Structure 1
Amino acid sequence: MRAITLDRDGAAPTARDDLARPSPGPDEVLIRVRASSVNGFDRKAADGALRGSMDYRYPVVLGKDFAGEVEAIGGTSEFRVGDPVFGVLMRSYLGDGTWAEYVTAGGGDGIARVPDGIELATAGVLGLAGATALDTLDALAVRPGDTVLVAGATGGVGALAVQYARLAGARVVATARPGPATDFVRDLGAAEVVDYTGDLTGQVRALAPDGVSAVAHLAGEGAPLAGLLAAGGRLASTIGFGPDQHPAAISIFGRPERGTLDRLADDVLAGRVRMPVDRRYELDEAPRALTEFSGALGKLAVSMP
């Protein structure tokens, strides 16, 4: 089996074609992977930033998202061989990953059927970023008329957060650099855009003198953003800014549960939201994709042979 691996502590990601194809356990299915994507989690795993919080079981196959067809079933399953599926691996360790020709999924992993009308290449970029965006917006309980600041609007999570906040009837203020990034978030539905490289506080206060109703904290420092909240405002953070740092803050860990994945797929199929893809890479190019992750407008997709 071909895969992208970390072979030892401190090693760079590399392509290998000598790994054994995994076998599904009693509550698992074997998936022939056709598509995946790059997430911030993958960058952290490759850089060794998760040592101490997760066990690295070498060789570590990188990758969290997957889309493909069920190849084999280890026991009783609601899925059948040939079913198109997508989701996210949710393991307590690093070892199995989706930047590979095959992966097993089941148990605590997020997995759902890909509905007719959605290509596997699209489903492969949805799981983790989509679940995180939905969990963020659900935590913020956005209502019509709210002003929502999305800090980190140009990434995969941010792109969907902008769209879901707009669908909820909110006025969306997005952070982005001037130029293509600003055009990108406006196209997604942001009513206002502020340049995070400038006086962010001053720009937001000019747009919302009494403060914003909610903040999706996906990038940047949390404390200054919390200071922009109106009375009773809410902040949801995906990067570790929680109630210990501010009473209005909630820490978010994306949970790709079945219902969440089904909702994402339904919304994409109906055209309510879309997941922009900045660039696409073949499996062997995935290590380069990691180096080009920062600054991407939307997702970086990975395709399998």
Structure 2
Amino acid sequence: MRVVAFTEFGASPAIHEIDVPAPGAGEVRVRVHAASINGFDLAVANGYVQGMMEHRFPVVLGKDFAGVVDAVGEGADGYAVGDRVFGTVTKPYLGDGSLGEYVTVPVAIGVAKLPEAVSFTDGGALGLAGSAAVDAVTAAAPQPGERVLVSGATGGVGNLVVQLATRAGATVIATAHTDEEKALVTSLGAAETADHTTDLAAQVKDVDVVFHLAGDPAALLGVLRSGGRFVSTLVGSPDQLPTEEHTVLPVFAQPTEDKLNRLASGETRVVVEKVYPFEEATAAIAHFVAGTKGKIVVSLI
């Protein structure tokens, strides 16, 4: 099968041919129809995770997937061949990524049924960004009338955070630079925008919550009121951002079945900026690196 992988540390991701995997106990094999690019994929490709997780070469990139179950391993209860599914690869090692024609995934976490009303393209963009957004908003617990800043609002996670925080009744200030970016975040529910290419602290003051999805965390602390909450998908521990005036809440996405079902329910909409054919997967990665307005998806069908 064709995959996007790198064969050793320092090698660039490229399209390779490898054997089709067999599902292990508690796993299903999915014929992937769509997968999306995430920041984690770049971290893996650039070697930033070396020494932190086991790498089984060739390392196939990709976390998010949507497709159809085509084989069921022993004990993988609740799933059958032909089921439409989506989710996020959650294995404790790197190697079995979703940027390939097939992927095996455990049914215990990271996979759920994909409703017929949701396209494979949208399903393939939902898992990791959606789980991170839900977990971030849950951690922040924004209250009606509170003011929140979403830094990184134009990205996949940010798009969903803007929607969820707005639904919670908060007044959302979203980072955006171009007119197109401003129009996007406003359409998702943002009441105001702030230009992240200039000094945010000069534009925004005394917000109750900062969602740190992009940008310099230390600089973003300057927009928080005393006692405010700083929720970050990029800071691993509160010790990395010492502060006595604010509460720092790191977020690590957990793509549980319940959470995935919520994401596929239509409560929010996923913004897909562009879909690339599999043959142009490396171009899709380059697009992501350059910046996005929503999700970048790779189609494998």
Q: CA deviation at 1:95?
A: 0.7
Match of 2:29 in 1: 30
Q: Which amino acid aligns with 2:127?
A: G
Does the aligned pair in 2 maintain the 1:151–1:158 contact within 8 Å? Answer: yes
Unaligned residue ranges in structure 1 (runs of 5+): 206-210
Match of 1:130 in 2: 130
Q: Does 1:13 align with 2:13?
A: yes
TM-score in terms of structure 1 length: 0.93
Match of 1:98 in 2: 98
**For residues 241-252 of structure 1, what are the structure 2 equivalents within 5 Å?**
242-244=237-239, 245=241, 246=243, 247-252=246-251
Q: Which amino acid aligns with 1:227?
A: G
Distance 2:102 2:123 in 1: 16
Match of 2:74 in 1: 75
Match of 2:229 in 1: 234
Is the deviation greater in 196-205 or in 165-174?
A: 196-205
Distance 1:199 1:72 in 2: 53
Does the aligned pair in 2 maintain the 1:131–1:255 contact within 8 Å? Answer: yes
Distance 2:226 2:120 in 1: 44
Distance 1:256 1:292 in 2: 25
Distance 2:109 2:51 in 1: 22
SS in 2 for 1:11: coil
Does the aligned pair in 2 maintain the 1:31–1:72 contact within 8 Å? Answer: yes
**For residues 69-218 of structure 1, what are the structure 2 equivalents within 5 Å?**
69-76=68-75, 77-106=77-106, 109-205=109-205, 211-218=206-213
Q: CA deviation at 1:199?
A: 2.1
Does the aligned pair in 1 maintain the 2:66–2:84 contact within 8 Å? Answer: yes
Q: Does 1:284 align with 2:279?
A: yes
Distance 1:81 1:146 in 2: 47
Q: Which amino acid aligns with 1:233?
A: G
Distance 1:235 1:251 in 2: 8
| Aligned residue pairs, count | 295
Distance 1:121 1:228 in 2: 36
Q: CA deviation at 1:108?
A: 5.1
Match of 2:258 in 1: 259
Per-residue deviation, residues 223-245 of structure 1 (Å, max 9, x unmatched): 22223222331111011164212
Counting aligned pairs with the same residue, the percent is: 45
Q: Which amino acid aligns with 1:8?
A: E
Q: Does 1:296 align with 2:292?
A: yes
C-alpha RMSD of matched pairs (Å): 1.3
Distance 2:151 2:67 in 1: 32
Does the aligned pair in 2 maintain the 1:241–1:250 contact within 8 Å? Answer: no
SS in 2 for 1:124: helix
Q: Does 1:274 align with 2:272?
A: no
Q: CA deviation at 1:284?
A: 2.0
Is the deviation greater in 247-256 or in 156-165?
A: 247-256
Unaligned residue ranges in structure 2 (runs of 5+): none
Distance 2:234 2:147 in 1: 21
SS in 1 for 2:164: helix
TM-score in terms of structure 2 length: 0.95
